């Protein structure tokens, strides 16, 4: 019986080690390029974001709206919102994200407002724990009152993300931004202020996450970061 020649069978399907290493290097280079581009885009985006925040200012005048919504996180925000209500810029005011232990009377005293104003025209939201919650509770309030327009009051660094979340849930309502500025950040001043830089970096990262959620559904997270809150308090106090 004649045995068939086995020439060329040995090693069939075997990829040379050198080819495997070459393929791995190509994949690594592609991944490195993608990561480098991603980091560059992220940093460039942060620069544009910080510059935009630096140019936000308190409006000298703002159109009247049906309602006013203020997101808690700083005393200046609530003061500004109450002042808008007193000036007749809105029919009612919603203070969203208030600590459950805080009473309406505590807020009234803190803002130096009359009892009648709070009893007739101020609503308190204790349910919201983060910006997404602020938007959800505000949307319920706007729809319950059949409002077509609101003035949104929050700090300048918090405004882009707040607007994004609010307009996502209220696509048919007009949302007029009213940024509160505690620390001037124009002309690149944030570069020389570590607290401001930290707050902006944190807020930019959250803003990018909010943008990503427009395309890729992500699990909701409640942000309970004492460090971030401390940094914001420092920024507001500067």
Residue 25 pLDDT grade (very low, low, confident, very high; cuts 50, 70, 90)? confident
> What pTM, to 2 d.p., does this model score?
0.78
Stretch 219-229: mean pLDDT, rounded? Answer: 44
pLDDT above 90: residue 196: no
For residue 44, what are its two tokens? 């460039």
Instruction: Assess contact for 212 and 218: CB atoms under 8 A.
Output: yes
pLDDT of 147-184, one tens digit each? Answer: 999 999 999 999 999 999 999 999 999 999 999 998 77
pLDDT above 90: residue 88: yes
> CB under 8 Å to 54, separation ≥6 — which residues?
185, 186, 187, 188, 189, 190
Helices (H), 56-150: 75-86, 104-111, 115-121, 131-144
User: What does the alpha-carbon distance between residue 67 and residue 140 come to, in Å, rounded to a whole number?
Assistant: 13
Closest CA to 110 of 137, 90, 81: 81
- 180 three-class SS: strand
Closest CA to 124 of 69, 180, 66, 64: 69
User: What does the alpha-carbon distance between residue 10 and residue 5 come to, in Å, rounded to a whole number?
Assistant: 11
């Amino acid at each position: 019986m004649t045995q068939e020649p086995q020439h060329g069978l040995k090693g069939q399907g075997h990829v040379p080690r050198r080819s495997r290493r070459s393929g791995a290097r190509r994949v690594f280079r592609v991944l490195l390029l993608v990561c480098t581009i991603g980091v560059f885009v992220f940093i460039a985006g942060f620069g544009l974001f910080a510059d935009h925040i630096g140019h936000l200012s308190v409006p000298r005048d703002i159109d009247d709206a049906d309602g006013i919504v203020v997101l808690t996180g700083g005393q200046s925000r609530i003061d500004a919102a109450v002042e808008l209500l007193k000036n007749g810029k809105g029919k009612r005011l919603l203070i969203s994200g208030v600590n459950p232990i805080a009473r309406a009377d505590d807020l009234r005293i803190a803002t130096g407002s009359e009892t009648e104003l709070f009893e007739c025209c101020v609503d308190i939201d204790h349910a919201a724990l983060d910006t997404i919650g602020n938007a959800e509770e505000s949307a319920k309030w706007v729809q319950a009152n059949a409002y077509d327009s609101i003035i949104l009051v929050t700090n300048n660094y918090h405004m882009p993300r707040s607007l994004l979340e609010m307009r996502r849930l209220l696509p048919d309502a007009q949302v007029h931004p009213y940024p509160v500025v505690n620390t001037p950040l124009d002309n690149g001043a944030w570069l020389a202020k570590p607290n401001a830089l930290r707050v902006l970096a944190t807020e930019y990262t959250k803003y990018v996450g909010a943008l990503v959620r427009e395309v890729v559904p992500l699990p909701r997270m409640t942000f309970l970061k004492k460090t971030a809150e401390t940094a914001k308090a420092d920024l507001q106090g500067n």
